Each structure stands twice: as C-alpha cells, then as structure tokens.
Amino acid sequence: MTRRDLLKCLGYSGLSLSLPINLIAAKKIDEHLQIAEIIQKKFKGKEISILYPKGSLANLLPIRDELKRLTGVSLKFVEGSLDSISSEILLKDKLNKDQDNIDIGITSTFGIPDLVEAKAIVDLSNYLKQYEPKELSANQKYKLGDYYQGNFYGYQADGDTYILFLNKEFLTDPKAQENYQKKYGIKLEAPKTWQELDRQIQFFHSPAKNKFGGSLYRNSNYSIWEYWMRLHSKAMLPFDDNFQPQITNKKAIQALDELVKVTKYLEKDVYKNGLFENFKSFAEGNKYCNLGWGGTQKYLNSAKSKIKGKLIYSLPPGGQHSSKQFQMPYFNWGWNYVVCAKSKNVELAYLVSLFATSAEISKRAVREADGYFDPYLETHYQDPKIIDIYSKDFLQTHKEAMEKSIPDLYVRGQGSYYSILKDGIDGALKESLPSELVLANVEKRWESLTENFGRENQKKQWAFLKKNYPKKFLEVIK
C-alpha cells in the first residue's frame, strides 16, 4: 500500500486533485538532495534538538553529519530512555521550560496515540502534502503506525516486525526428520501454525542432552507479544466493532492455555531473560526456536554467535480457519520521528525528519550495526552493506514480514491495556491461575479503561486499524 492509498483510506481521496504541485516531487534530483536544498535555503545556520532512545545514537550520527554538510543545520542530541521515551516527550511538553524544549522526538510507534491525545506532538499532515516526495511513499514497507485518527504524525524509522528463528541443525537433522515423520506422520519443516510449532518444540526438548525446545520470552514484559499473535491465529480480533473486548471466548482462552502449556518445553531462564539475555542464550546453539527482530539477527549473525549461518528464518506461525492457512507477522515495536508541540522550529523539524527517512540517508543510518534501526524501506534490502549485516536470507523473510504484519494496538492508552493483559498472562504463567479467570478479569478492566478514555474515540481508531489489517487475514475472519 502506498501512502496515497493509505490517505484514501483516511478520507483524503480527493486531495491530489486540488493541491498545488508538491515542492519536491517536481524536481528530478535525488530526494535527499531536494530536501536538503529546501532546508539550506530556509534554515541554514539553525540548530535543532532531537531526543533519541538510548542505544540508537550510532544510527543518528551519519544523519547529523550529512545534514550539516548539505544544509548548514546542526543537530543537538539529547539521550532518552529506551523503554519510556514517550513519557519523557510528554514530561518535557508539560514542564514549560524553554531550555528543556525538544524539536524532534524519536518515540516508540505504539506511543504516538497517547502523545497525540496529550497534544504533545504536531499533526504533520499538511507538511506531508507539501513536501513528501512520491518516491518515499512507494519505498516504505510499513506505515500504518504513522497515523492516528486519520492524521499523519511522524515517519517510521525502524522495521521492528517479529520473525521466527529456527536452528537449522535441529530442523535438518536426518535422524530427527525420520523420527518426527514416524511419530506424527508429517514432514519436519518450518511450521506454519502455532499447533505445529508447539509440537516441534516438545519434540526437540531434551534437557538431559542439554537441548531445549526454544527461547521464547516468558518475562513479564515480553510474553504478551506471543499471546497477541496466538490470539489472532485463532482467526479472531481482540475487540469487536464497538471496541468491546472479546477475549473470554473459547478461542482466546485456548490461545493462552497453549502458551502456558508449551512453556515447560522451553529453556529454564525464559522467565527472567530480557532482550539481550535472550539473544545470547539462543546464540549458544542448543535451542530450537526463538522469536525476535532485526536486532536479534544482528547478534546471531555476529562473531559472538555459535549459530551464525546455521539459521532458518520464517514468518511467525499463524493458524488455519475454514481450510485457509495464514501466518502472523506482527509489527510490535518500531521508532518514529515526531515533532514536539513546544518546538519553535516545526517546519524545520518536519523537514529534518523527512531528510532522515529519505532513501539515501536512512540507508546510512540502518548500516550502523551498533544502533537499533532495522530496514524499513525497499531500497534497504538491496544495499550490500545491509545485506552483509543481516544476511540475504533473513532480509528476504523480513521484507515479506514487513509487508504482511498485523499492527500493534495503536489506540489511546495502549500501555494501560497491555499492562493489564501482561498481569493476566503472568497470573496464568507464574501462578497457575485458570486462563478463563485471568482473561475475564482483563476484559473487565479493559472495559473500565475504555469508558474512561471515551469509547467513541477508541472505536474510531480501532475501525481504521481493523480496516488496514493484512488483506489475507481479513479474508479469513469474514
């Protein structure tokens, strides 16, 4: 889907007929040079500040250097928290201190709705129509999280979609293939459904031989992502059209039961492992499967990993409904450039964000292996250095996953809804509470949240999200 298609979904179908010629689209030089020319003419000598998540500075340095060289505009960096940068943007907006004002924030994609509702970031729709090159929209692999309530709030800077990692030495072992065929009557191959993955995890789990079924997250913060995919794999959505939760039905309960049941076939440290502990553990080579992102792959493809070159990549499992099989990639994080409401340089902040996400400049950012930004433009997948960092096989799967990902829950209060669901999953995993009981409690608390936030507002955004789920998934759930 191009950005023009997305704008049509949002109700902007007639705009292209009445708008003046886009200021950049009319030129023939590279888009980053076109953007730089505008910045240089209007803002040369200016300084602009950017709040970034800790760990991503490496991605921003080449952007800073080229921006300064081409335009004379300086970037001032302010480091923020990896996990709560959206809250920091909000706090700086409320402090009313000029010296603390930030022009650009790099927020988690799922944090945008709350920042919009708090009036902490700027609606950039008019700037997009005025300046965005048409090539950029066609180049983007995922842009749904850039919008809220029909308006554009910031460019995606990081392709954080979930990928399934499989240990090739487990999956292609001739003896294992023979035994699996005898035991289950089917071929051992990359799983397309959660039922098949769960079966394979159990099959390969052999602690006595120091081999484990997998490294799937079970800590309090990250197990929710797996449940979100398992829930959708039952050919259902978490909310109905009135934004009323529907997670106490049989399928939703079954999804949580299955997540709990398979846990005993995972390595013993899954309850405590965070992101980087997970990478290191799976890289030891004695676990069958894992879920992760481009950051996971950068570690697994490095000299630190014992399984470099020994992996099979797949879209995450899905389900089967009415003889239709579907897989379930999920865009569950990501970073977006947004313009802060207190900025005194809004137009420049937008243009710098546009410059940073142009094909050439963003490629230089993604090439920085020590940063967090993963590929998100079509041109990234063709770059030799990026291919060397991630591997050709991984990028092929990653690109497909970006194009087919279900969205995160981009609604007001996403963190609150997810916090409640995390509590419920934890209760089932760690306290052995019945899935039916914990999900009933989640549903009740979700309804209270929705009433507090305003149901009509939530319904409007949910209708847009639902409309833009992957087409194949929508066909399945009809």
CB 275 within 8 A of CB 217: no
Which pLDDT belongs to residue 82? 87
Q: Which two tokens stand for residue 325?
A: 């099989």
Q: What mean pLDDT is predicted for residues 305-330?
A: 93
- Contact call for residues 155 and 354 (beta carbons, < 8 A): yes
CA 322 to chain centre: 29
Residues 217 and 236 in one domain: yes
Q: What is the pLDDT of residues 107-149, one digit of tens each?
A: 999 999 999 999 999 999 999 999 999 888 889 999 999 999 9
* Domain termination site, one of 377, 404, 431: 404
429 and 396 together in one domain: no
Residues 363 and 376 in one domain: yes
* ∠ CA 121-132-39, rounded to 5°: 80
- Please state whether beta strands 147-148 and 151-152 pair in parallel, antiparallel, or not at all (unpaired): antiparallel
Domain match, 267 and 139 both: no
Please tell me the distance from the alpha carbon of residue 336 to that of residue 222, in angstroms, as a whole number: 21
Tokens of 247: 């997670």
Q: Are residues 111 and 19 in the same domain?
A: yes
Half-sphere exposure of 69 (CA within 13 A, CB side): 9
Exposed / middle / buried, residue 435 (Cβ in 10 Å: 0-12, 13-18, 19+) = buried
pLDDT of residue 328: 87
Banded pLDDT at 27 (limits 50, 70, 90): low
Tell me what the mean pLDDT of segment 146-155 comes to: 96
> Is residue 227 scored above 60 in pLDDT?
yes
Average pLDDT value over all residues in the chain = 93
Give the CA count within 13 Å in the CB-facing half-sphere of 45.
2
Decide if pLDDT at 392 tops 80: yes
CA distance 373 to 158: 5
**Rounded to two decimals, what is the model's pTM?**
0.92
Residue 19 above 60 pLDDT? no
DSSP string, 358-384: SHHHHHHHHT-TTSS----BGGGGG-H
Q: Are residues 343 and 418 in the same domain?
A: no
Q: Are residues 216 and 75 in the same domain?
A: no
- Mind listing the pLDDT tens digit for each residue in 230-286? 999 999 999 999 999 999 999 999 999 999 999 999 999 999 999 999 999 999 999
Pick from 435, 7, 456: nearest CA to 234: 435
Domain boundary (357, 376, 404) is at: 404
Q: Give me the number of domains the chain comprises.
A: 2
Identify whether residues 399 and 425 lie together within a single domain: no
Mean pLDDT, range 48-61, rounded to an integer? 97
* pLDDT score of 350: 98
Same domain flag for 195 and 133: no
Give the whole-angstrom CA distance, residue 102 versus residue 345.
10
Tell me which residue of 339, 358, 340, 348 sits closest to 72, measured CA to CA: 348
Q: Which helix (H) or strand (E) holds 292?
A: strand 287-292
Instruction: Select the more confidently predicted residue: 211 or 328.
Output: 211
pLDDT the model gives residue 106: 97
Same domain membership, residue 122 and residue 167: no
**For residue 402, how many other CB atoms are within 10 A of its CB?**
23
Residue 4 has pLDDT above 60, yes or no: no
DSSP-derived secondary structure for 31-51: HHHHHHHHHHHHHTT-EEEEE
At 17 the pLDDT is 28
| pLDDT confidence band for 95 (50 / 70 / 90) | confident
395: nearest Cα among 138, 159, 62, 229 = 159
Q: Is the pLDDT of residue 96 over 80?
A: no
Same domain, 139 and 180: no
The angle subtended at Cα 428 by Cα 425 and Cα 433, nearest 5°, is 140
pLDDT at 20: 35
pLDDT at 89 over 80: yes
State the CB neighbour count (10 A cutoff) for residue 434. 14
Q: Which of 319, 377, 351, 318 is nearest to 143 (CA)?
A: 377
Pick the residue with more confidence: 476 or 159? Answer: 159
Last residue of a domain, one of 404, 428, 455: 404
Which amino acid, 43? F
Q: How many CB atoms lie within 10 A of CB 204?
A: 23
Average pLDDT over residues 210-223: 97
At residue 3, the pLDDT reads: 52
Report the alpha-carbon distance of residue 59 to residue 43 in Å, rounded: 23
We report the CATH number of the domain holding residue 322 as 3.40.190.10
Strand segments, DSSP code E, in 100-232 are 104-108, 147-148, 151-152, 154-156, 163-167, 212-214
Distance from C-alpha of 352 to C-alpha of 130, rounded to nearest angstrom = 14
One domain for residues 315 and 173: yes
Whether 102 contacts 342, CB under 8 Å: yes
pLDDT at 233: 96
The answer to whether 131 and 22 have CB atoms below 8 angstroms apart is yes
Range of the domain at 379: 3-156+333-404
Residue 24 is predicted with a pLDDT of 58
